[in-house]
A and B are shown apart, each in its own frame.
Chain A
Amino acid sequence: MWDYTEKVKDHFLNPRNVGEIENADAVGEVGSLACGDALKLSLQLDKEERIADAKFLTFGCASAIASSSALTEIIKGMTLEEAEKVTNQDIADYLGELPEQKMHCSVMGREALEAAIKNYRTGEDGKVEMKGEVVCTCFGVTKDEIERVVRENGLTEIEQVTNYCKAGGGCGGCKPAIQDIIDDITGAHHHEEQSGAPRRLTISQKIKLIEETLDREIRPSLEQDGGDIELIDVVGNTVVVSPRGNCSNCPASPITMKDLVEAKLREFVDDNIVVEEEKA
């Protein structure tokens, strides 16, 4: 059983500000059913852009619910500028502390808040979007997110990164990449930049490289669920694949298989690759 502080238990058993604000000024959404936790934050602002009211809906464990409740209590009465400075550590501190393995719940709170503020300022939908290179394919965690939790929380171990943002918590195939990110930030060592010289691949080289990339980057996470992905065809830069397994048809997945495969193939094979899915 988790060792929760009294404050975590209190905010789980008696959560503050549950619900959804009608005609909210700002809405932020993060997570998914597939990932095991999700948070929808809605804010109402007064004339001075102070957070007059904040409400949450959360799917998740006790610490996810407590972190959401804590977040709403922390930000009520803040200006947006003040709210912007709230970190995941502030949420954890407010609750006394969170078990190390549950720190990702506080990160989820911070992400929802940022998404809501962005939603208010830009009018774009308040869903946390994935930017940049996906490092952890199991949980859809990008390099940017990993760098951020490492920097903001002074993390030095892969296990900590997993605790804070889930990256590496599935098949574990991305652990070397996480280590590289940690090393880069902590200055443990520096990589040589890969030379950006364009390559002209023969078709057999290209297919081989695509297969290698699927093997290394995609299949380990699918194997966890007994899934797989098959390379059906390569026509120019169009790659036809047929995914199998749970993730492939999971509507709640934060990233679709197509997006993921495309991102990885663009990263490792060719910038112009377009992936098409063929259902088995």
Chain B
Amino acid sequence: MKPVYMDNNATTRVADEVYEAMQPYFTEHYGNASSMYSFAAEAGKAIKKAREQVAALLNCSPDEILFTSCGTESDNTAVKSVMEAHPSKHHIITSRVEHPAIRTTCRHMKQRFGCSLTELPVDGQGMINLDELRSNLRDDTGLVTIMHANNETGVIFPIEQITNMVKERGAIMHTDAVQTVGKLPLDMKKLPVDMLSISGHKLHAPKGVGALFVRRGVKLPPMIHGGHQEGGKRGGTENVPYIVGLGVACEEAMKYMDDENTRVKKLRDKLQEGLMTNSQDAYLNGHPDLRLPNTANISFEYVEGEAILLLLDAHAICASSGSACTSGSLEPSHVLRAMGVPFTRAHGSIRFSLSRYTTEEEVDFVIEKIPPIIERLRSMSPFGRSQKAMSS
């Protein structure tokens, strides 16, 4: 059965164009970009081109792009290197709804290195309060790291306003934009962030490659020590085929940007509306408008997410849940909890995230399959039965 893949915020299918472009760099042009013979020059050229492609998507200079192994490495580099570069400014501000790549890194800096850490709360729609940010900015605030859009709810933060506020106080501004690069237009000439994280596999490049935009002039000691690669900012032989893949993926993302914000958004809206009207006690999590065009996070009250996912799996439908049981922990999503979503809803939350490959047939299929699954689980549940016939 071909999967109905609606988990694109988790990872995406590698685009054919990307896959094709990578191939020659495994067996043909396999030279080490640092080597001195012309055979290896192909690799160096390929990296240069990829850097330009990524820079084009962000409208920045190619030398402001640092290739990494993944979004998590980009985030780690941003936090750890900035803290290392500015030891006297040891206060970090972040939000309560960050991806673990930021959340646990910041908490590590607090626990291990005594950095002071402020985690800003969000409101019921997942929005940050700018006044709260302003009042927490201090003279010793070295870094503010706030995601551009949330991976679970798709809620988009007003990153430009946030950045302006942060820059006024002289702190470094980083944003984890792994969910927005390729989905929303980003222009580094207009958005004054100092650093921005990119993950390849969220935009149809393979897993295992990422990038960090580092604005010229931002001091960034390497987190991974080694050779002189990446301008001395990251040791390790360049992963040429994957870097090529990321470059092509960025180029493709520019072509599909309109599609993402029109066709995909329309499909998402249809899915969301279909599910909410056809199921009782269904609630949308996150801001209704300020949201990624591909993401819908819906809670089905009184049922548990893992059970929903496994029944969806029987139809080859792929989605994810913020329930405790799917996280491997015992508590539901920290994002939904920070938003004050009641536990009763958090456990039954399902995230659908679409992509350029999503079709209307797939959306219709999911709209058709979900309500009976929810009803079936509710008929087994001791809760939420007041208006329903007791089965026996």
Contacts and interface: CB of A to CB of B under 8 A. Distances in A.
- A and B bound? yes
B391 interface: yes
B383 A38 contact: yes
Interface stretch (A61-69, A179-187, A211-219, A235-243): A61-69
B148 interface: no
B281 to A, nearest CB: 12
Most buried by A among B306, B330, B392: B330
A2 B325 CA distance: 9
B3 interface: no
A255 interface: no
B382 A250 contact: no
B274 interface: no
Contacts of B332: 36
A226 B338 contact: yes
A268 interface: no
A62 B307 contact: yes
A59 B392 contact: no
A42 to B, nearest CB: 9
Interface stretch (A19-27, A148-156, A202-210, A270-278): A19-27
Interface of B is mostly: loop
Nearest to B321: A61
A33 B306 contact: no
Contacts of A226: 96, 121, 337-338, 340
Interface string A45-64: 00000000001011111101
B16 to A, nearest CB: 27
A34 interface: yes
Interface in B310-329: 310-311, 314, 323-326, 328-329
Contact of A55 (B302, B311, B337, B392): B392
Nearest to A169: B330
A246 interface: yes
A101 B327 CA distance: 11
Contacts of A60: 304, 307, 325
Interface residues of A, number: 41
A58 B329 contact: no
A32 to B, nearest CB: 9
Contacts of A35: 343
B76 interface: no
Given A19-B392, A55-B392, A101-B328, A36 B342 contact: no
Contacts of B380: 15, 18, 57-59, 65
Size class of the B contact interface (CB-based, 8 Å): 35 or more
A39 interface: yes
Contact of A162 (B303, B324, B330, B383): B330
B381 interface: yes
A246 B343 contact: yes
A12 B304 contact: no
A38 B348 CA distance: 14
A62 B329 contact: no
Interface string B346-368: 01000000000000000000000
Contact of A61 (B306, B314, B329, B392): B306
B1 interface: no
B381 A61 contact: no
B382 A40 contact: yes
A200 B316 CA distance: 66
Given A22-B392, A59-B383, A12 B310 contact: yes
Nearest to B344: A33
Nearest to A33: B344
Contacts of B331: 36, 138, 169-170, 224
A110 interface: no
Contact of B343 (A65, A102, A252): A252
A58 B382 contact: yes
Interface of B: 96, 121, 302-307, 310-311, 314, 323-326, 328-332, 334, 337-338, 340, 342-344, 347, 379-383, 385, 390-392
The 10 closest A-B pairs by CB, nearest first: A169-B330, A19-B392, A61-B325, A61-B306, A57-B382, A40-B382, A59-B381, A33-B344, A34-B343, A36-B324
Given A61-B307, A226-B338, 7 more contacts: A19-B390, A35-B343, A60-B304, A61-B306, A61-B325, A65-B380, A170-B331
18 contacts: A22-B392, A29-B382, A33-B302, A33-B347, A36-B343, A37-B304, A57-B385, A59-B302, A59-B381, A61-B307, A61-B326, A65-B380, A102-B325, A139-B330, A169-B330, A226-B96, A226-B340, A246-B340
